[in-house]
Each structure stands twice: as structure tokens, then as C-alpha cells.
Structure 1
Amino acid sequence: MGKVKFNSPLVEMEGDEMARVLWQWVRDQLVLPFVDVELKRFDLSIENRERTDDRVTLEAAQAARAHGVSLKCSTITPDRARQQEFGLSRLYPSPNGTVRNVLDGTIFREPVICPNVPRLVPHWSKPVVIARHAFGEQYRAKEIVVEGRGTVKLVFEPTDGGEAVTQTVHEFNGGGVALGLFNTDESIRGFARACLNFGLQRGYPVYFSHKGTVLKQYDGRFKDIFSEVFGEFADAYREAGLVYEPRLIDDMVAFSLKSSGGYLWACKNYDGDVQSDYMAQGYGSAGLMTSLLMSPDGRCIETETAHGTAVRHYRQYQRGEATSSNPLATIYAWSRALWHRARLDGTPDGMAFAETLERTCIDLVEAGTMTRDLASLMGARHPFVSAQVFVQRAAAELKSRLG
């Protein structure tokens, strides 16, 4: 069996803990034995981020932009406890935020539906795609701890020397905290255009969730720009029998629980982070959620594992115990990156390999080979396998199919 040849490189970003272990198993057993692809590797482990003062994250993001297709493993964003655990010199920002800010664009998270796996929300029979704006918000916020009495102000100083605009945020009589968020019209417009294009291509209605009743100017700006951009798509949506609607996020959450799926939910950055995790559990597992970031022009694509680093499973792994972490999200990060690389390069054999890899893994699950998270949905006595065994069986079946 000859390897499938890819003409251009992938930018690979390794992560932390059990997610990193799964990443290496998938790469070394399900990808590299079958494909010939150059990997531009970057180690985004928390230890290497400390060694490089986080320069490695920016370098990885710049490489992702230069080469067009990248994929990223889950990484640690340290809090105070993890700072102490790893002896970090500072609290490093989210690597996801750094990479996404360089690439800009929108993250599309979509569940993998295994027909035989019961869903926690049984009537979710069709996918819900969470479109998450990937710029600004909490991931580029400025925050301060207020130590005593004083005033926090929001100030805009025009570059052209015009009159500054100042608003008092709060007059503190004692300690507290303050936070500054921002976004740009250009990025919001790219977000809206990406969502509306995606909805049209997939035949999905699009809903943008906001809190415009409270953040009248901030969320109101998002709402206005979405409405403006939708003007470019209105005729095409009407012909396709599709709709676009802005909805209060409270109403959208209630609607999502009652619906059967089959729509795109456009969320602001942090809202999308939360809602995609909630959706993943509703469909069965965080291991069943795919994640794809696309730049506004569609040139740059980054696939990710949408779950965390699985620290509890990593502790078991360190003790030499078999773990049953679900590797499907990791497998799909690789398969979707390979598929897009092949699509951009015009190599159909690469696209076919990526599709075969995905089909092989879904067929295994449908045949009853699954990790603990999925087996528990089937019933208390349903057998399950370790993550390592699942990857090994998938590799054997893939070899047989490609033989």
C-alpha cells in the first residue's frame, strides 16, 4: 500500500496532558502510516510556552497564516493554581485566543452524530452548527484589580486629534475589579459574512444571539452589522427558503432545547465557547464535537480539538492505568485538516483518505467499539474500550480498507 501524497505542509500544534497523548497516538497510528505530508511542528505545551515566554504560540499562529492549513491540540490556559503547579513566571493567555486573533475569522463547531449512540437531548436528530466569532472579547480583554477608592474610566482618543470621548465606568469606594472588551467593525462584518455564507452553502437558517437589551451599543453594533451584511444575501436566502434572525440569547437557549437541530447558531466569542460545550454534551460527548476555524477570506483554516486537556485521565495515564478518553475529536481534527489541505491543493486522493478515516471510526462506534463516555449512554453494562485500543482497532480497520 502506497502512502497518499500531500503537496503542501500542515502546521501542527501539540498541546498538553491527555489531549497530547491522544494526539500523538492518532498522528502516529492513523495518519503518518498512510499519508506522506510535511508537518511544521510547534510545541505549545505549557512547559515550552514558559521556556519561550510564549513566543512559540505567536510563531505557530504566524506559520498557520503563512501555510494556510493548521491543526491544534488542546492546551492549558493557566489559572493561579496551575501557575503554582508548573512554576510559571506569569499567567499566560489562552493559546487559542492568540492563534485566532492572528487568523481572525469564525469557528464552526459541529457534532459528529453516531446513529446508535443515544443523545442526552434525544430529539436533536440533526446537527446544530455553533459559529463562534474568533476575535476580541474576553480573549483580548484588559483587566485590572482595583486596590482602593478611585475611578475607572473608558476613554477613546481619536488619532486625528479630535475631542476625546470619556465615560465613567465606576467610582470605587473600595477594592474591586474592572474589565475592558473590544471588537472591530471589520471583524464583525467578516464574522457575519462567514456565517451567512455557511448557512447558504449548507441550507441552514442562521440565528445570531445577542444581549442587545443590556449592551445596547456593544451588542447593538453586532446586530446592526449582521443586518447590513444580510442585505447582500437576502435574495439568495429568499430563493433557498431560508431565514436569518437575530435573537436574544435567552430566547435562543430555550429554542435550542426545543428544536430538532438543523440550523447555524452564530455566537459572540465567549458565548460560542460556552454554547458549543453545552451542545457537545447534549449530543453525547465533548469528544463528538468538531472544530474548524476559517479566516474571512476562506484562505486560512485551523482545525482543533474542542474539548480540554482531560487532566483527570492524564493522572490515570501517569499512574500506568488505561484510560477511556474519547479520541474522535482528535481524529476529526486531523481528518478535517487533511481534507482541507487536499481540497486547497486539488488532490482528491487526500480528500478520499480523510473521508475514509472518518467513516472507519464511525463504523467502529456503530459496531459497538466505543469509549466509556459513549458506552455509558448505551447503558450501565455496555462494554467499552480504552482510548489506546480504539485507536489500534481503527488503525487495523483503516489498513484493511485501504489495503
Structure 2
Amino acid sequence: MILVKGKVVECVGDEMMAIIWEKIKYKLILPYVDFGKNLEVFDLTLENRVIYGDEIVLDAAKAIKEAGVGIKCATITPDEKKCEEIGKVLRSPNHIIREYLGGIILREPVICENIPKIIKSWVNPIYIARHAYAGNKDVHEMCIEGKGQLKLSFVDEISGVQTEKIIAEETKDGVIGATFIEEYAIRAFARGSMEFAVEKCLPLFLSTKSTILKNYDGLYQRVFQEVYENEFKSRFEERGIFYNFILIDAMVAKAMKSKGGFVWAMKNYDGDVQSDFVSQGFGSLGLTSSYLMTDDKKVIQTEACHGTVKNHFKKYLRGEPTSTNPIASIFAWTKALAHRGQLDKNEELVKFTEIVEKVCIATIESGCMTKDLAAALKNNEFESMTENDYLTTFEFLDKIAQNLRSCMILPKMNI
């Protein structure tokens, strides 16, 4: 057994991914890894959040920051209708954790040679560096009823001077949204993105729409350029890489025509949208690893980049077979444990995570896969697929577990 020397925080989630999460833990992790008393579990199921509110999520975030490592299963963010049903307004667990930890969200494609890319020209990975909070994901909203004047105002704490900007002289019956981010947070985002580009030895692009949001997006553009010129330019040039700013609409077109092989930094919501585009372009949302990293690299919180797969959960509850891709959740475990191993200089743990990832890829490349990947081999012609073309959720996990056993040179276990 491989001993885990430092604390790991596990966040349990909802629906189909929660079912898969437990299978991953007991089939692929616990037969080989001994956490001892170093695994702290937080129940972030919707049922538990209804009881304890968002405070339980904040407690998990604090524990992750203290431990330096967090692993999170996909969770439900209740919409307005669901909040009315449960009698409580609950925020997105992801947003609460990201807001507390700060940093950047990094998304990497898991490339399997036999899974065809939708965007054929992408021969090299594209890494998304997404700001962890603010932007459209952190908008403060207010409904406007009646007729009146709209304005933004800021009161200086020391001088008491108030600065105002009129949004509309005369308006009625609508909605207003406002967001704010401090410059230090953008500077930390810039440093984190550039450190990652240096680590990967790849060029870095920042994309915003600074021609429209001249102050908000313009601040991102200015700060990134300053950090690059003052702190990273020589390190980039030593490695033969570069940093460029490109407007986001132009960058989307450039990315589609490219061969890949770069890091793409974006604000929170932009990164959310484009990371799905990139993941699908490489073959599947299920073949993507996602983790939040603080700018000092001391804390990593991993997760699957997709939701709870509600439609598959309904089938599961009816006793029907499902074929849900677990790779993103498996890589959530491996990326987190790899960081724990690096923090503790635990080479055995790091090596184990590398083996698990290689086994997952080799299993898919051997032809054993879930329905979403099998469909990609048939140009997504689902109507022509039969049950012989793919494995069910649990058959696929069993196959990975079987292949992992043969790689670990351990006695076979009843798992």
C-alpha cells in the first residue's frame, strides 16, 4: 500500500457522478492507497446543503486551502425553480470554492490516439487557463421596476469623495448587472498563467474584448503586459516561447485554424465557454482534466469539468444500464493525489497517479470505451450503434480496474 503523508480533502457530489465517484474511489484508489487519517470528507450533496446551507461549502474551501489538496465530485447548482422547491437559495458550490481559493482553472485534454478529433488540425494540446472568479459568474443583479435614473457610485474610504457615473438618465422596467474585480487578482492570474506556460514550454495568449469593455477587459490586457515585460519576458525568450494579446473573437478563429500547442488565458465566463469548445474539439468533454491552482502553486483543487449527468442518473434509478464516461472524474483523483505526492516528495504516490492515467488511456486505445467515445468513432451516428460497440459505465470501470491490477504487480483483490 502507498501511504499518503499529508491531508487530502474530498468533496462528495450529486447524481450519476456521485455513483461513479464512489466506484472510482473503491475500485481504483483505495486498493492501492492508504490515507490513514489524512482523508477529510465533506458531504456537498444537495440534500446536505439544504440542511447546512452554503456554509458547508465554505468550510470545505477552508479545509482545502489548509490541506493544499482538494478533490471534488460534480455537484448540483439549483436553479430558481429548484430553490423555490427546497425553500432556500443556494449558490454554486464551485463558485464558492473558487471565490475563496482564487487562482486559475487549468483544463487539459486527455488525448487518446484512436479517438478522432472533431477539429482535425489540432495535433497538439490546447490548455485553457481560466480566471477562477469574477466576470459574468460574479454579477450582482437588480431588477428595476418603475421609472428613474441608473448610476454607478464609488465612495473613497479615506477621503469620503464619491465618484459617480450615470448609466441611464431615464429608464424603466428592466434589469441591471454589475461586477467588480481588484487589480491584484488579475495580476495573480497573469503570474499563474505565465508560470504554467513556462512549465509547459508553450506560447501564451490572453483573450478579452477590450475594444468594448475598455476599462474592465482593458485592465486585464494592461496587467498581463506589465507582468510579462517586468517578470517573465526573459524566461519566455530563454525557452523560445512568447506572450501575445488577441481579441477573443479573433482568437477563436485563430484557434480553430491552428495546430494547437499553446496556453489560452481568459476571464472566468469566457474560459468556461471556450474550454467546452476545446474539450469537444479534441473528442469529448469526458476526456478533459480540470483543476484550480492558486498563483503560488501551493493549493490544487481538482474536479470533473462537466455536470452531474442527470439524464443518466434517472436511467440508473430505473435500473437501466448507463454508459457514462468516468475519465474526467478519475483524473480528478489522479491530479489531486499527484499534487499531494509532490508536496510531500512522495515519489511512490506520484508514480501511482501516472500509472492510473496511462492505464485509462491504454484501455480506451485498446477499444474498450463508453458510448460517447464509441460514437465519436462512428461520426456520432448514434442510431447505428449497438450494445456491442461500447461498455456500460460499470463494465468500463471494471476493465480499467482489471488493467490497473496487472500493472501494479499486486495480488488480485476482490474489488
Instruction: Flag as ranges the 4+ runs of structure 1 deviating above 3 A.
Output: none
Aligned to 2:47: 47
Give the aligned partner of residue 74 of structure 2: 74
1:192-232 CA deviation, whole Å, 9 max, x = no partner?
A: 00111111111110000010000001111111000100011
The one-letter code matched in structure 2 to 1:371 is T
Q: Give the secondary-structure state (helix, strand or coil) at the position aligned to 1:174.
A: strand
1:13 aligned counterpart, secondary structure:
strand
Q: 1:172 to 1:42 in 2, by over 3 A?
A: farther
SS in 2 for 1:173: strand
Task: Indicate if the aligned counterparts of 1:148 and 1:172 stay in contact, CA closer than 8 A.
Answer: no
Q: What SS class does the counterpart of residue 256 from structure 1 fall into?
A: helix
RMSD: 1.2
Cα 1:239/1:147, change in 2 over 3 Å = same
**Cα shift at 1:338:** 0.7
Verify the 8 A CA contact 2:206 2:264 in the aligned structure 1.
yes
Q: Is this contact kept in 2: 1:140–1:181, CA < 8 A?
A: yes
Contact 1:149/1:171, CA 8 A, preserved across alignment: no
Partner of 2:381: none
SS in 1 for 2:82: helix
Please give the alpha-carbon distance, in whole angstroms, between the structure 1 residues aligned to 2:369 and 2:212.
44
Asked if 2 retains the 8 angstrom alpha-carbon contact of 1:130 and 1:276, the reply is yes
SS in 2 for 1:324: coil
Equivalent of 1:398 in 380, 399, 404: 404
In the TM superposition, what is the alpha-carbon distance from 1:339 to its structure 2 partner? 0.6
Q: Which amino acid aligns with 1:35?
A: V
Q: Secondary structure of 1:224's match?
A: helix
Q: Distance in 1 between matches of 2:21 and 2:123?
A: 29
CA offsets 1:141-172 (integer angstroms, 9 cap, x no match): 21111122122321111110242111122345
Aligned length: 399
Tell me by how many angstroms 1:126 deviates: 1.0
Give the gaps of 5 or more residues in structure 2: 379-383, 411-415
d(CA) in 2 for partners of 1:310, 1:149: 43
Deviations 1:90-143 (A, max 9, x none): 332211111011111011101000011111112211110000001222333211
When residues 172 and 83 of structure 1 are mapped into structure 2, their CA distance, relative to the original with a 3 A threshold, is farther
Aligned position for 2:389: 383
Give the C-alpha shift of residue 88 in structure 1. 2.1
Secondary structure at the residue paired with 2:165?
Answer: strand
Q: Is the 8 A contact 2:341 2:347 kept in 1?
A: yes
Structure 1 residue 234 displacement after superposition: 1.0
Partner of 1:13: 11
Paired position in structure 2 for 1:207: 205
Please give the alpha-carbon distance, in whole angstroms, between the structure 2 residues aligned to 1:218 and 1:166: 16
Give the Cα–Cα distance (whole angstroms) in 1 for the partners of residues 245 and 75 of structure 2.
33
* Structure 1 position 352 matched with structure 2 position 351: yes
**If the length of structure 2 is used for normalisation, what is the TM-score?**
0.94
Is contact 2:150-2:171 (8 Å) kept?
A: no
The one-letter code sitting in structure 2 at the alignment partner of 1:27 is K
Partner of 1:168: 166
Q: Is the 8 A contact 2:208 2:246 kept in 1?
A: yes
Q: In the alignment, which residue of structure 2 is the partner of 1:99? A: 97
Higher deviation after alignment, 181-190 or 170-179: 170-179
**Structure 1: tracts of 5 or more residues without a match:** none
* Structure 2: distance between partners of 1:137 and 1:99: 16
Moved more, 341-350 or 136-145: 136-145
Q: CA deviation at 1:333?
A: 0.2
Structure 1 distance, partners of 2:150, 2:77, is 27
Q: One-letter code of the match for 1:103?
A: L
Trace 1:293-304 onto structure 2 (pairs within 5 A): 293-304=292-303
Which letter maps to 2:46? Answer: I
* Code of the aligned partner of 1:78: P
Secondary structure at the aligned position of 1:148 is classed as: strand
1:201-280 superposed matches below 5 A: 201-231=199-229, 232-280=231-279
Whole-Å separation in 1 of the counterparts to 2:205 and 2:101: 24
Match of 1:89 in 2: 87
What amino acid is the match of 2:355?
A: T
The alpha-carbon deviation at position 75 of structure 1 amounts to 1.1
1:283 is displaced (CA, Å) by 1.0
In the superposition, the TM-score normalised over structure 1's length comes to 0.96
